[in-house]
Amino acid sequence: MTQSPHLAFRALADPTRREIMRLLTEQDMTIAQVSDQFDMTRAAVKKHLTMLSDGGLITTEVRGRERLNRLNPAGLAPVFDWLSFFDRFWDARLNDLKTAIEGESDD
């Protein structure tokens, strides 16, 4: 029962949200902790976290007055699922894909 990839793809469209996902691979973080990593207000970060949650890419755990944001890698399943459709065209039209993936990339 793979869910629609729509909200996940939309959540991944913004560089800030992708960076938040990277941050959350290191540790769970409160909103304030995430906000410290960006040059924007806590309210703006909160909106990004909401979109990430809507896309199923993070989960939250309320602990007292804090709210811990946690990466949910399983939320990437619909994305991988959609992308897997192109696997066969990958090989058919492109031979040296693996060399293309070699490099590192940033935003």
- Binding residues vs a copy of itself (CB under 8 A): 1-6, 9-10, 12-13, 15, 18, 21-22, 25, 53, 56, 59-60, 71-74, 76-86, 89-90, 93-94, 97, 100-107
Provide, rounded to whole angstroms, the least separation between the CB of residue 93 and a copy of itself.
Answer: 5
Which of a copy of itself, DNA, none is residue 79 near (CB under 5 to 8 Å by kind)?
Answer: a copy of itself
Coil, strand or helix at 21: helix
Sequential DSSP letters for 52-105 = HHHTTSEEEEEETTEEEEEE-GGGGHHHHHHHHTTHHHHHHH-S-HHHHHSS--
* Interactions with DNA, residue window 64-83 (CB under 7 A): 64-67
Q: How far, rounded to the nearest angstrom, does the alpha carbon of residue 104 sit from its chain's CA centroid?
A: 18
Provide, rounded to whole angstroms, the least separation between the CB of residue 95 and DNA.
Answer: 26
Type of residue numbered 25: T
What is the CB-side half-sphere exposure of residue 82 using CA atoms within 13 A?
11
Which of DNA, a copy of itself, none is residue 43 near (CB under 5 to 8 Å by kind)?
Answer: DNA
- Site residues, DNA (CB under 7 A): 10, 13-14, 16, 30-32, 39-44, 46-48, 51, 60, 63-67
